[in-house]
A and B are shown apart, each in its own frame.
Chain A
Amino acid sequence: MESVIALKSPTACTSLSPSAAIWQDVLAQAMTGELIAAMNYTSLAEICDDPEEVADALEHADGERWHAAAFAAEGRKMGLDVPNNVNGKHWKKLREAFLRCIEDRDFIACLIVQEIMLESFAVASYARVGKVGPGSLGKTFAAIAAEEEEHVDHALSILRTERALDAQRFDDKVYRLHLDVMTTLAKMLAKECKDGHCEVCHGSCVKPSLFDVSLSAAELRGASLQQYLKTLDMLGLPGEVTLAWVTQLPV
């Protein structure tokens, strides 16, 4: 898989503060997610016919790369090298799911995966981190959460128009993508990594340590799923149906 930003190989934080190692992993996950998003938008540009859409997708890709760089910079301020691994187990699966939509040249499916599913996760979890992150790190997470939310608004209007054409067909598509993408995201967000190391955290899984920085895996999962449900509500999907989808996800 392509490399997007070349960085030094990760070094475990030996540390400036007891929480630095935790922030290193949090930043690594966020940075990897942003790089995946950048790759996704670049791929999306390749299937767009309308030059304006191409430009939009490339602009989004640039924005996501800038976010990744901002997270790397926050790490440097703390004296940390922030690693990334777009081939990490879960992130690779998410990227592959997106690439299947690209193969099908399904622009709408691409938007659903990136803007509805992955961005719900990003907006909600960044906002939580933004509340507890120290100094500029917290501010950066909060600011990027706000920017990502703007993307979602733009995508929502396109997707609502699409749903208006054939709600049944649209909802079936969302469900198919939900099974693929949200199942992987739910495993990432589970309180424990039951399938082994995620290949992004630099040492053992960061989740049990999140309490030390006033976060928890359960909170990040809850906030992400809440954001996802609210976003699906905004699209007009029936709440009782999306509730069942979410309750059926792995824990």
Chain B
Amino acid sequence: MGHSAAGIAVSGLPATVDFALIGHQESWRAAADVLAVLRGPEHTPLPDDEIKDILPWIPPRAVCHVRVGSISSGVSDAKAHGLYIDSFIPPDRLGAAYTHENIARVRGAAAYAIKAGARIVSLGGFSSILIEGNFDQLPERQDTAFTTGNTLTVGFIVQGIKKMCRLAGRDIRRSTLLIVGATGDVGSGCARCLSPLVKRMLLSARNVERLRALASELETNGVQVELATGLQQFSQEADVVICAASLASPSLLLGRITPDAIVCDAGYPKNLSPNAQMPGVKIFFGGLGQITGGLTFAPDFHGILNRHPFPNVVHGCLLEGMALALEGRFEPFSHGRGHITPERVEEIESIAARHGIYLAPLYNADGPLEDRLDRQMESPRA
């Protein structure tokens, strides 16, 4: 199947849609870049005020075709074809006041994926938070499976924490881990995976009952657990932090952490406020994986839809759908809230790795991190 109208050549694309990725843009800059690609180089980019006027009216729809390759030699057709579907949630309308409107947009995007015949759909970014893993909120479907993708996100966050501790010469077994957004699907999954490894856990969330339930579950691993609804209420300072809160914008200011803490910002949108002054803290963006078997977009959205300093880096939640499609497992691997276990994380990590999807190189707003950390370790006084 191909399509030539409008001069958009997407010829050679298969008729089947193995996977669909539902997402939205995190900032107006990102949204502007997407629209600029769609407008093409022969048209001047839309002015910012026009973008803000037009984007909220765009119904959820496919923006581009996505093809992902596998490194697996045992798979006969080691490729999967999919669609990136944008729900066109305006970047400044992620707050609670827009919840109903945004759920309608995610439902619209899900309906589009079903109509396109997608066999598995990953709910990226805020989409899964809005649906809260409750797939009953999605349109009726027959042959389409939905996954929040949160299990692989947890896997990459945990792998990132371990890697950062190793690079920073930190013994994770002696660490005090703070999880912000601990009762969410991602936060609680991280807590379950890391509780056997750390000395102490500080769990922060808004719902005390859920916090207590999680704490009693984790304490069976022998870890010390402290709970709080506010970050200033903990008795201990954390030296490892995971930020996995559902925030409409980067606005989190951390308190009670050590000056050289390792901080994983796993939010989409990011959790940490750009105004957070933490000069000695080692921040990295977590939950990201890298595809080594090849990733192509038609039209070409490289560097636009995946705005990372390394090639073929994608959020874990979206990668989960791609990995499952490559594996031929069209099933709701991650659903509901609070079901992510270390065993499930291990399973999805194995599937992803079999197809060449691994933890992405670590980076933050200042760029790649790993070389910088290596240099710091070689000359600690530098």
Contacts and interface: CB of A to CB of B under 8 A. Distances in A.
Contacts of A159: none
Interface string A212-251: 0000001001110110011001000111111111111001
Contacts of B4: 168, 172
A239 to B, nearest CB: 3
Nearest to B56: A222
Contacts, number: 79
A171 B56 CA distance: 26
A241 B53 contact: no
Interface stretch (B35-43, B322-330, B362-370): B35-43
A187 interface: no
A89 interface: no
Best-buried of A174, A230, A240 by chain B (most CB within 10 Å): A240
B59 A226 contact: yes
Contacts of A225: 54, 57-58
A218 B62 contact: no
Main secondary structure of the interface of A (DSSP, over half): helix
A160 interface: no
B57 A251 contact: no
A243 B38 contact: yes
Contact of B58 (A172, A229, A237, A245): A229
A244 B53 contact: no
B6 A229 contact: no
Interface in B165-217: none
A175 interface: yes
A62 to B, nearest CB: 33
Contact of B63 (A171, A229, A243, A251): A243
B96 interface: no
B218 to A, nearest CB: 44
Contact of B38 (A226, A230, A244): A244
Given A247-B35, A247-B39, A251-B47, A222 B53 contact: yes
A241 B57 contact: no
A139 interface: no
A236 to B, nearest CB: 9
Given A239-B112, A240-B64, A222 B6 contact: no
A93 interface: no
B40 A238 contact: no
Contacts of A175: 5-6
A241 B298 CA distance: 11
A248 B57 contact: no
